[in-house]
Amino acid sequence: MRPIHRGNSDRWRAGLEVTFRWGDADVLELFISASNKTFSGGASPYVDLGKPANVAAILQGFPKSASDVRELEFGTSGDGFAGGYVHLRFSCRDHAAHAIVEIQMESKNETRTDAQWNNACETVHFFASIEPGAVDDFVREPRKFDKDGRGSAWLRFS
């Protein structure tokens, strides 16, 4: 089954994008979207101010070996929390160190009634192949995010 395409060539490009939405003295709101051209999703997690720079530090140099695993979490999973949740697990699928990312997302729909607001209303879980050079490109951008900044970071999938 092919994904529906509505004429926007960027709509179905394979990759993960982290976009700065809003910030104050305590937190940042990000929008994280991803698509492997078959599955896609997006969430708006709230994170600590230092999270974007921490992401870059965690992913720098991935993968160092075929057994290298790096994990990132944005926001909080489950009921009772605003925003959304994203879990990224970077690993290698074989001994030749072909890199992949596993993506799990939960989004919250703030237009629902008060009784339904805290429930995750959409979830997605999928995998995508990535190139080490794409990870290197991706880690340069989040370091620039701050509470007054704007920006986005793009991780292209293979």
Residue range 40-65, pLDDT digits in tens: 999 999 998 888 888 888 999 999 99
CATH number at residue 84: 3.30.2450
> Which residue range is the domain that position 105 belongs to?
15-149
CA distances from 95 to 29, 63, 91 (A): 37, 12, 11
Q: What's the pLDDT at 7?
A: 46
Is 10 part of a structural domain of the chain?
no
Is 7 part of a structural domain of the chain?
no
Band (pLDDT 50/70/90 cuts) for residue 116 is low
Is 156 part of a structural domain of the chain?
no
Residues of the chain above pLDDT 70, percent? 77
Dig out the tokens for 143 from the structure.
């370091």
Q: What's the pLDDT at 5?
A: 42
Cβ within 8 Å of residue 71, ≥6 positions away: 87, 88, 89, 90
Is 2 part of a structural domain of the chain?
no
Is 5 part of a structural domain of the chain?
no
69-74 contacts: CB < 8 A, separation 24 or more? 74/30, 74/32, 74/43, 74/45, 74/47
Is 123 part of a structural domain of the chain?
yes
Selection from 25, 21, 155, 37 nearest residue 90 by Cα: 155
Is 54 part of a structural domain of the chain?
yes
Position 99 pLDDT exceeds 90: yes
What's the structural domain count of the chain? Answer: 1
Band (pLDDT 50/70/90 cuts) for residue 69 is very high
Total-model pTM: 0.84
DSSP code at position 119: S
Mark 83-120 as b/e (b = at least 16 C-beta within 10 Å). bbbbbbebbbeeeebebbbebbbbbbeeeeeeeeeeeb
Selection from 103, 99, 88 nearest residue 62 by Cα: 99
Is 57 part of a structural domain of the chain?
yes
